[in-house]
Amino acid sequence: MSQPVSMSGPRPGRCRVCDADVVEFLDLGAQPLSDAFLTPKDIGHEFFYRLAVGRCTGCTMVQLMEEVPRERMFHAEYPYHSSGSSVMREHFAATARRFLDTELAGTEDPFVVELGCNDGVMLKTVHEAGVRHLGFEPSGSVGRLAAESGVRVREAFFEESSAADLRRREGAADVIYAANTLCHIPYMDSVLRGVDALLAADGVFVFEDPYLGDIVERTSFDQIYDEHFFFFTARSVRAMARRAGLELVGVERLPVHGGEVRYTLARAGSRQPSPAVAELLAEEEARGLADPRTLDAFAERVARHRDELVALLRRLRAEGRTVAAYGATAKSATVTNYCGIGTESVSFVSDSTPAKQDRLSPGMHLPVVPPEVFAKARPDYALLFAWNHAEEIMRKEEDFAREGGRWILYVPEVRVV
C-alpha cells in the first residue's frame, strides 16, 4: 500500500541541507532525550527515539537520521548551564573580547546577536562593555539566568521569522554568533534565511561546534545524541554556506569540548577567505573524512569501544570494586544507553548542576548526586562522563586520585588512569 506523500516538511533519509539521499552508517539504538533528568514519577513515561547517523550523498553533511521535535528538548526545564565549567567561562569571555577588540573595532554602534546564549556566558562580557546585543534562548530556565546578569534575551527559537522580526525592529547585526547551537538545529534552511535577513552587508556569522574530524579521530561517539543533529566539516559547511549566498572565510580549530571548529561565514565576495580554509579542506581530503569507508571504520571502532568498556565494568564488578561516574553530561545518555550501563555497574553520577541533582539519568536511571556525595563515598573507580573537562575535573578532585581512586576514560580509548 502506498503511503500518503506530504510535499511540505522534511522527508526521512533526505539531507536537511541539500535534500539529497542520506546513507546511514551507525545505529546507536533506542535512546531517551539526553537532557531529560527524571523524578521518580517520570519513570515509565520517557520519550525514546532511534539514534542513527548518516552521510549525505550530495553535500557530505553528516546528520541524524531522525529528528526530535525541538520543544521536547529546549523548554522551561532545560538543565544545561554553560557557566558550569571555569574553562568554558574563560573561553567565552575571550571570544567576546575578541569580537569587541577586533571584529567590531571601528564599527559605529555595533550589534551582536547570539543563538543559544544559554545563561549569558558569552554575552555577559558584551553587555558589560556597553555594546548593543540580543540573545535568542528558547529555554526559559537558562535564559532567565542570562537576563539576571543584565543580558538582553528573547525567549524564542532563532529561525527565519524571528530573525526577520528582529531586523525590522533593531536593524542589521554585525556579528551573529552561535556556540554549540547551530549543530542543534535541523531546520537549517530557515536559520540560513534568517541569517540572510539579519546580517549586515559586511557582517559575519560565526559558529563553533564539535568537529567531525575530532569525533572520528577520537572515536568520541558520545557526541552523537538528540541535540547534536549535524556534524560539520569545512567541506560540508562550505557547501551549506554557498547554498545560502554565504562564503566560508575562516576556520579555527578549538580545543574545547573534545575538539571543535569555529567557522566564519560572510556574504559571498565580501571578504577574502583566510588560507586556513584551504588548508583544512586539504587536510580533510587527505584524511578521507567524506569517504564512506572512513565512516564505516569509525562505526566499527564504536562497537569495539563499547565492548571494551562493558568488559572492563564487568571485570571490576566481579572483583568487588566500587564504581561511580562523574559528570551527568548529555553525552553520557548515549554511552549508558548504548552500552547498557545501569546501577549494577555504576552506583551514581556526581554533577555540580543543581537542576540535575537528586534526579535520575535518562534511560538507565543512575542517581545524580552533588560532588560532596562523591567525595564522601570514595569509590574505587570513577567513570569520567565529562571527559571533555578532564583537566578541570581531575584538578578539582585531586584528593580522589591521591587517596587511590582511579579514573576510567573511554575517549580516545578505554583505559584506566
Binding interface with ligand TYD (CB under 6 A): 80, 84-85, 327-331, 351-353, 356, 386, 388-389, 392-393, 396
Measured CA to CA, the distance from residue 197 to residue 172 in angstroms comes to 8
Q: Which residue has its beta carbon closest to ligand SAH?
A: 116
What is the spatial distance between Cα 50 and Cα 230, in angstroms, rounded to a whole number? 16
Q: Fill in the amino acid letter for 158.
A: F
Given ligand SAH, Zn ion, ligand TYD, none, residue 15, with its beta carbon under 5 to 8 Å by kind, binds Zn ion
Interface size with ligand SAH, residues (CB under 6 A): 20
* Residue 56 or 335 having the CB closest to Zn ion: 56
Q: Which of ligand TYD, ligand SAH, Zn ion, none binds 379 (CB below 5-8 Å, type-dependent)? A: none
The residue among 143 and 258 lying less far from ligand TYD, judged by its C-beta, is 258
User: Which of 306, 291, 303, 273 is CA-nearest to residue 263?
Assistant: 273
Query: Which of the listed partners (ligand TYD, ligand SAH, Zn ion, none) does 175 bind, with a CB threshold of 5 to 8 Å by partner kind?
Result: none
Question: Is 329 one of the binding residues for ligand SAH (CB under 6 A)?
Answer: no
Q: How far is the CB of 165 from ligand TYD (least distance, A)?
A: 29
Strands 230-231 and 199-210: unpaired
Residue of 22, 179, 237, 368 that binds ligand SAH (CB under 6 A):
179
Query: C-alpha grid cell for residue 212?
Result: 567531525
What sign does the CA torsion over 288, 289, 291, 292 have? Answer: positive
Binding mask 131-160 for ligand SAH (x = CB under 6 A): -----xxxx--x--------------xxx-
Task: Report the C-alpha gap between 230 and 186 in whole angstroms.
Answer: 7
User: Do 416 and 381 touch, CB atoms closer than 8 A?
Assistant: yes
d(CA 80, CA 329): 9
Question: Cα–Cα distance between 10 and 2 in angstroms, integer?
Answer: 18
User: What is the distance between the alpha carbons of residues 300 and 289, in angstroms, rounded to a whole number?
Assistant: 15
Q: List the single partner that 386 binds among Zn ion, ligand TYD, ligand SAH, none, CB under 5 to 8 Å by kind.
A: ligand TYD
115 near ligand SAH, judged by CB under 6 A: yes
Amino acid, single-letter form, for residue 25: F
Is 80 a binder of ligand SAH (CB under 6 A)? yes
Cβ 132 to Zn ion shortest distance, Å = 36
Q: Residue 341, interface with Zn ion (CB under 5 A)? A: no
